[in-house]
């Protein structure tokens, strides 16, 4: 075989390898690592934090303070509780997430807990740009097919296409992933018509041996509004009791 043919063969093999990397197993592997880091074995066993939510609509800004707990279950879906602390008109409102189809909202004004139906999970969470769907612990690899669109020295850009069996509101997602820790720095979501719907950006920091999101900004491109969520006093691996993730605890005053 001539030197020219050998070089051509090498180029051909490299092209095949590049195509495989950009469209095949590598993208799916990255996505699984994102799940592991955010919600799986590489995530804290539990977290406790306070949150400051700011809802921006035009010149109006509404500020809310919340407390939140999460529990990472290795053999089941993660649990989450969020409770509003202030201002007075929303204080006591709480959200409990036990699974994708087990989400409960406590309204202290009526002293009742109602289950959030799948058909209403696209609705706004207490006037913010987060929907109830957005507050689900997302299993990206279980709901989307992935391919690698681009990469640079610091990040991967994944394109996620929704699986036919997935009950998710977004048809397509563009996910920017940090190569150093597999946390996602930006997420752009698209509707069934291919139009951009929401854009989320995250700031990441170390918490013990983990990486956690410390600030999120979500913008609803269709409404022209945005919401920021700042996480403070983050504590990990506290051994939070399972009783925190119950409807009874949801009613308790902080």
Question: Is 82 inside any structural domain?
Answer: yes
pLDDT at 101: 82
In a domain, 83, yes or no: yes
What pLDDT is stored for residue 143 in this prediction?
A: 93
The answer to the question of residue 148 being in a domain is yes
Residue 17 lies in a domain: no
**Mean pLDDT of the region 60-80:** 91
What is the mean predicted confidence (pLDDT) over 50-61?
96
Lowest mean pLDDT of 2-6, 75-79, 106-110, name the range.
2-6
Domain count across the chain: 1
The proportion of the chain whose per-residue pLDDT surpasses 90, expressed as a percent, equals: 76
Q: Residue 43's domain spans which residues?
A: 27-250
- Classified as helix, coil or strand, 233 is strand
State the average pLDDT for the chain: 89
In the chain the beta strands, taken as DSSP E runs, fall at 46-57, 60-71, 79-86, 94-99, 102-107, 112-115, 144-151, 155-162, 172-178, 184-190, 196-207, 210-220, 225-236
Q: What is the pLDDT of residue 73?
A: 87
Give mean pLDDT, residues 218-228.
97
pLDDT of residue 134: 92
Query: Given pLDDT bands bounded at 50, 70 and 90, which one contains residue 2?
Result: low
């Amino acid at each position: 075989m001539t030197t020219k043919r050998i070089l051509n063969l090498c180029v051909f093999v490299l092209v095949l390898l590049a195509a495989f990397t950009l469209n095949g197993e590598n993208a799916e592997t990255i996505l699984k690592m994102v799940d592991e880091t955010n919600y799986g074995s590489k995530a804290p066993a539990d977290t406790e934090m306070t949150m400051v939510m700011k809802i921006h609509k035009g010149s109006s800004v509404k500020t809310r303070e919340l407390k939140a707990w999460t529990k990472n279950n290795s053999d089941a879906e993660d649990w989450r509780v969020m409770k509003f602390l202030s201002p007075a008109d929303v204080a006591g409102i709480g959200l409990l997430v036990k699974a994708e189809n087990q989400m409960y909202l406590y309204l202290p004004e009526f002293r009742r807990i109602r289950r959030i139906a799948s058909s209403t999970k696209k609705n706004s969470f207490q006037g913010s740009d987060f929907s109830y769907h957005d507050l689900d612990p997302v299993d990206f690899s279980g709901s989307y097919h992935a391919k690698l669109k681009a990469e640079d020295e610091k990040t991967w850009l994944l394109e996620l296409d929704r699986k036919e069996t997935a009950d998710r509101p977004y048809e397509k997602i563009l996910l920017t992933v940090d190569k150093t820790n597999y946390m996602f720095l930006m997420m752009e979501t698209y509707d069934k018509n291919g139009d951009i719907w929401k854009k989320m950006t995250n700031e990441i920091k170390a918490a013990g041996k983990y990486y956690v999101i410390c600030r999120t900004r979500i913008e609803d491109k269709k409404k022209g509004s945005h919401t920021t969520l700042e996480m403070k006093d983050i504590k990990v691996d506290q051994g939070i009791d399972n009783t925190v993730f119950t409807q009874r605890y949801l009613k308790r005053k902080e």
